[in-house]
């Protein structure tokens, strides 16, 4: 199972291609990245955080 850090999640979310990770790998290990990208991103009002949260919910 691949481990993903924040940069690929953020950049794939920006170009609306986060679903590629699910297509390629099926499941991912996202350790502390969820907190870093989604929780803190939402606190700061980053739109990418909402995209990442929505796509991760589909995994």
What is 1-59 written as a DSSP string? --B--HHHHHHHHHTT-THHHHHHHS--B-STHHIIIIIHHHHTT-HHHHHHHHHHTT-
CA 40, CA 42: separation in Å to the nearest integer?
Answer: 5
End-to-end CA distance of the chain: 13
- Answer for the pair 52, 38: CB distance below 8 angstroms, yes or no: yes
pLDDT at 37 over 80: yes
- Answering whether pTM is above 0.75, one says no
Q: Where are the domains of the chain?
A: 6-56
Of the ranges 2-6, 29-33, 44-48, 55-59, the best mean pLDDT one: 44-48
Residue 29 pLDDT: 77
Mean pLDDT of 14-22: 89
């Amino acid at each position: 199972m691949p481990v993903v850090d924040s940069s690929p999640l953020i950049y794939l979310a920006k170009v609306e291609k986060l679903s590629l990770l699910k297509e390629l790998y099926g499941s991912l290990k996202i350790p502390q990245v969820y907190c870093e990208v989604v929780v803190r991103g939402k606190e700061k009002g980053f739109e990418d955080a909402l995209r990442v949260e929505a796509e991760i919910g589909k995994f």
